[in-house]
Amino acid sequence: MSITVSDVASLVGRYTNSVLVPQTQLESEFVSSGALTKITKADKLGVVNIKSGGFASTAAIADAGSLPAGDEVDMTQLTYQPKAIFARMYIPRQAAELASSKEDGIDLVFEQMESVGRDLGRTLGRLIFDSSIGSPHTTGIPTADSDTSFQVTDPSGFRNGMSVSRYNAGGTFKETFRVKDVALGYDGANSTITTVAAVAGATGAWATTDVFYLGHEGSKDQAMTSMADVTAAASLYGQSQATYDWRGQLKAVGGAVSNAVIKNVSTMITRKRGKKFSHLLCNALNEQRIYEDHVAEIRYTSGKMDEYGMKLTFDGRPIVTDENIGDGDIYLHQKEDVKLHCFREFAADTDGAKKGGYSKASVQVSADRLVWDCQFWGSYNLRVERRSGTGRMSGITG
């Protein structure tokens, strides 16, 4: 028994909250763990107020003494824009209309919704940390327009099926390709990325100084603010980092990471912010490095037990392991300072329909393919209220 376009629209509506949104959460441990506070508010522009330093009018005063002179610190109002993340899902019409049972058609939509959710979640997770996902390695660099593979030292940003855009060192767009397979290297070996179609190895002039980004339509500047931006020695939201609480802690490690290095950055945060970080963020590789250093230095594992085993902590703070973080980075995060502003939760595009329930027009008949076309998108950006509580260790190689 076939499923109709109305059935697909109802299933898309039903599975948005039960399948799509949970899948987006599962693809980023940072988002799903509660370490990143989410603020849901529809708006055309995000607004954040910051102040530089303390109150000049605050002072100790004797009984019957003169009131202290001074004014309140000037407030600076900054703005940030929503950044859209888009995906589309095709339901083959022949497979749906010739399905042997309703269950077959329902399973088809369910599995497609799972895949879309994973893609959207991975993209959001990667954008939160850094829009760059590395550069090609000298070994195996494409030199012909028939080449379909290249090598990287850090494969953490690549996933099967995703779109990747390549820019040269000057920021000029070169090409966009899709990833077919990621063959991980072990014990320091390079990883091989295989593409769906041939890349422009000759005409596109590949170089080791090229930079990969998640697929962007237009300029890569369309990406949202990242944790790397929070800690960079640069302005943010148009505000200079010269103000007291508007400067993150960036430590260029350039080698092996150790407890001493992390503790040093933690101490800088505590002294400037007046409060310790709330979470340590890293991927599984750096979690292993921290674990090994813990055992070597203090002879025991610092952590808490749950149903999956030992969950590591550092300096009493939980470690959140997220594979959307690159091999070269470890972050110290303060959840009070950096939050995720959700302007629009991931959901189907309904052509502006306002009617509630599952009957929204979320499915379109494709004009050029034998499919039903379902489009999904959400709008997000990081809301940074203070930068001094966030730290980053970059350039980690061991």
Domain boundaries, the chain: 149-218, 227-338+386-396
Per-residue confidence band for 183, with pLDDT thresholds at 50, 70 and 90: very high
CA-nearest of 292, 370, 330, 393 to 92 is 370
pLDDT over 70 percentage in the chain? 87
Q: Report the SS3 class of residue 138.
A: coil
Of 111-115, 164-168, 240-244, the least confident: 240-244
Give the three-class secondary structure for 37.
Answer: coil
How would residue 353 be classed by pLDDT, with cut points 50, 70 and 90?
Answer: low
Q: Of 225, 231, 218, 217, which is closest to residue 82 (Cα–Cα)? A: 225
pLDDT > 50? residue 300:
no
CATH assignment of 227-338+386-396, among 3.30.2320.10, 1.20.1250.20, 1.10.3720.10, 3.30.565.10: 3.30.2320.10
Provide mean pLDDT across the span 275-280. 94
Q: Which residue has the higher pLDDT, 76 or 253?
A: 253
Position 283 pLDDT exceeds 80? yes
Identify how many contiguous H helices and E strands the chain contains and give both numbers.
8, 19
Q: pTM to 2 decimals?
A: 0.82
Cα–Cα distance between 323 and 27 in angstroms, integer?
9
pLDDT at 360: 57
Say whether pLDDT at 208 is over 90: yes
What is the pLDDT, as a whole number, of residue 219? 61
Cα 256–Cα 389–Cα 341 angle in degrees, nearest 5: 110
Pairing of strands 211-214, 149-152: unpaired
Question: What's residue 191's pLDDT?
Answer: 92
User: Chain-wide mean pLDDT for the chain?
Assistant: 84
Local confidence band at 299 (pLDDT 50, 70, 90 cut-offs): very low
Does pLDDT of 341 surpass 90? yes
Distance separating alpha carbons of residues 51 and 72, to the nearest angstrom:
10
Task: Please count the other Cβ atoms lying within 10 Å of the Cβ belonging to residue 133.
Answer: 23
Q: How confident is the model at residue 244 (pLDDT cuts 50, 70, 90)?
A: low
Give the range with max mean pLDDT: 211-220, 242-251, 386-395: 386-395
Q: Which residue has the higher pLDDT, 393 or 292?
A: 393
pLDDT in tens, 63-87: 988 887 766 666 788 899 999 888 8
Which of 179, 175, 163 minimizes the C-alpha distance to 205?
175
